[in-house]
Amino acid sequence: MTVMAKFSTLTHRALELYRKVFPIPCLLCGLATERDPLCQACIADLAYLGPACPRCALPLQTGQICGQCLRAPPPQHLSFSLFRYQGGIRRCITGFKFHQQLAFAHLFANLMSEQLQHREKLPDYLIPVPLHAMRLRRRGFNQSLEVARQLGKLLNIDCRPDLLRRIKATRAQSDLKFRQRKANLRGAFQCSSTKLPEHIALLDDVMTSGHTSAEAAKTLLNQGAKCVEVWTIARAIRHY
């Protein structure tokens, strides 16, 4: 176990103990909660994604490949997302990302693993989508790495944040028009390994246009991975 992982386990234990003595209010409804940052009722009430296109995670009742992916498939072979990015889940992810409410990393990883653990084949590596060093310094932590670390433990997959770097300080995708977004990300990532295993899952917080994860997936495929999946906490559903 690395020093960071040990530290993370210790912090988690301390947090659990603290919660027992001083229960804190559920972020969404205010009821006291012992373990998670949300109460059980709010967890059950979140906007789970449901049936979706297996390639891009766009909600689709039939669960088949969507028209967009048939016309122009993304580089990743599969996409999995836990929630729709709306309502309460937006508040949770904002709290997690910008207010460092780290208990969410455990909650999201637990919920993701419940849905993924029955898969016949799981990836060999789990790689969190990296932040550029400048953004990482500003924010203090990478939310995707926190979830990937927990999820890797639960699913028994190696979490390898060391393999992918963000080498371009891209502008926030939300500041750009749809057409500019792809160009903004071109060449944004660099993979430090030439011996990647065949099957890798990338982990990101939110999939919006999908350009970030697509660029990261492309980088891994160019370096020899055969099958790349994109796992996200939430999928933003927008019409461009």
Can you give the binding site for Zn ion, defined by CB under 5 A? 26, 28-29, 39, 42, 53, 55-56, 58, 66, 69
Q: Closest Cα partner for 169 from 217, 140, 131, 213?
A: 131
Min dist CB 229 to Zn ion, Å, is: 13
User: Which CB sits closer to Zn ion, 69 or 237?
Assistant: 69
Minimum distance, C-beta of residue 232 to Zn ion, in the bound complex (Å): 14
| Closest approach of Zn ion to the CB of residue 216, in Å | 18
Pairwise CA distance, residues 129 & 160, whole Å: 10
Of 56 and 203, which CB lies nearer to Zn ion in the complex structure? Answer: 56
| Beta carbon nearer to Zn ion, 84 or 166 | 84
Nearer CB in complex with Zn ion: 53/200: 53
- The minimum distance between CB 8 and Zn ion, in angstroms, equals 25
Q: Which two tokens stand for residue 210?
A: 């999908």
Residues in Cβ contact with 213 at an 8 Å cutoff, skipping those fewer than 6 apart: 76, 79, 129, 202, 204, 207, 230, 232
Helix segments in the chain, DSSP class H:
3-21, 40-45, 67-71, 87-98, 103-116, 133-139, 143-155, 178-185, 211-222
- Picking from 210, 175, 222, the residue whose alpha carbon sits closest to that of residue 55 is 210
DSSP string, 161-193: GGGEEE-S-PPPGGGS-HHHHHHHHTT-EEE--
- Cβ closest to Zn ion, residue 4 vs residue 29: 29
Least distance (Å) between residue 92 CB and Zn ion = 11
